């Protein structure tokens, strides 16, 4: 039966997990961070080691688990040790296939684990000013055919694109503000895709020791700016940096 791959850690780190997470033994996850849903309770995590690497995996379940359930397991592991998340739904036929996967990708996996050792991902959801009109989209043209007067149509198009330019400028300024305010508290950062034009999504790779300082600096430096309202998310395993 295929095995569900969850993530990759350093073999030496497994010994620092709680005692009932012993390497190679089925375990139940005793810790689930706030804000995540419970992982499946009928089975537990097992570790398959190959040299310096170890893969966290789950044996087949009667009922398939959802992405948030896998995220809950990964978050529980990440509360104790570093782990590189594997794409949801990744399955390998047996333990030998997992060891082969670890062996073939050893150098790249070790490089990423060392690069992200002791760190996690902190997300920011930034709401831009409500005064900016949502930008023009191609779908709107289908819903609202051009007016019969060319001048009116061109004026409407110009207004929409001007709105988009203002929104893009706000997004850039907001990103620069947050990156500058948080300077010194992260190892790396990046912009994530957002499906909502008035929302900017950022991800920061933050050392565990800096998580509290990261939150405190946001709370003291940003709140007075109406156009910089934000939601802090995480910390999570480094999904956006793997």
pLDDT by 10-residue block (mean), the chain, 242 residues: 90 80 42 40 72 89 74 88 92 93 96 93 85 47 55 67 77 89 94 90 95 89 63 92 85
So what's the pLDDT on residue 103? 96
So what's the pLDDT on residue 237? 94
The values of phi and psi at residue 191, to 5°, are -90, 135
Query: Within 10 A of 140 (CB to CB), how many other CB atoms are there?
Result: 12
Query: Within 10 A of 78 (CB to CB), how many other CB atoms are there?
Result: 23
Q: Both tokens of residue 47?
A: 């570790």
Distance CA 146, CA 133 (A): 19
So what's the pLDDT on residue 33? 41
For the chain, give me the number of helices (H) and strands (E)? 6, 9
So what's the pLDDT on residue 177? 87
So what's the pLDDT on residue 173? 87
Q: Both tokens of residue 78?
A: 């990440």
Contacts of 235 (CB under 8 A, 6+ apart): 78, 120, 121, 122, 206, 208, 211
What is the CATH architecture assignment of 120-241? 2-Layer Sandwich (3.30)
CATH 3.30.70 segments of the chain: 120-241
């Amino acid at each position: 039966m295929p095995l569900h791959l969850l993530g990759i850690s350093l073999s030496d780190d497994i010994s620092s997990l709680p005692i009932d997470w012993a390497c190679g033994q089925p375990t139940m996850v005793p810790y689930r961070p706030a804000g995540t849903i419970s992982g499946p309770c009928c089975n537990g995590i097992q570790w398959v080691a190959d040299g310096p690497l170890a893969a966290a995996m789950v044996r087949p379940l009667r009922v398939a688990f959802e992405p948030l359930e896998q995220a809950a397991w990964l978050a529980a592991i990440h509360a104790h040790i570093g782990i590189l998340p594997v794409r949801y739904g990744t399955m390998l036929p047996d333990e030998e296939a997992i060891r082969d996967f670890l062996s073939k990708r050893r150098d790249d996996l070790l490089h990423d684990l060392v690069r992200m050792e002791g760190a996690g991902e902190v997300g920011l959801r930034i709401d831009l000013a409500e005064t900016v009109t949502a930008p023009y989209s191609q779908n709107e043209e289908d819903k609202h055919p051009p007016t019969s007067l060319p001048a009116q149509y061109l004026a409407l198009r110009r207004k929409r694109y001007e709105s988009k330019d203002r929104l893009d400028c706000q997004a850039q300024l907001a990103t620069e503000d947050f990156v500058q305010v948080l300077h010194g508290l992260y190892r790396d950062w990046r912009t994530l895709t957002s499906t909502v034009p008035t929302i900017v999504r950022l991800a920061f790779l933050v050392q565990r020791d800096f998580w509290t300082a990261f939150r405190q600096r946001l709370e003291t430096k940003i709140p007075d700016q109406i156009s910089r309202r934000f939601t802090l998310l995480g910390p999570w395993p480094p999904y956006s940096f793997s």
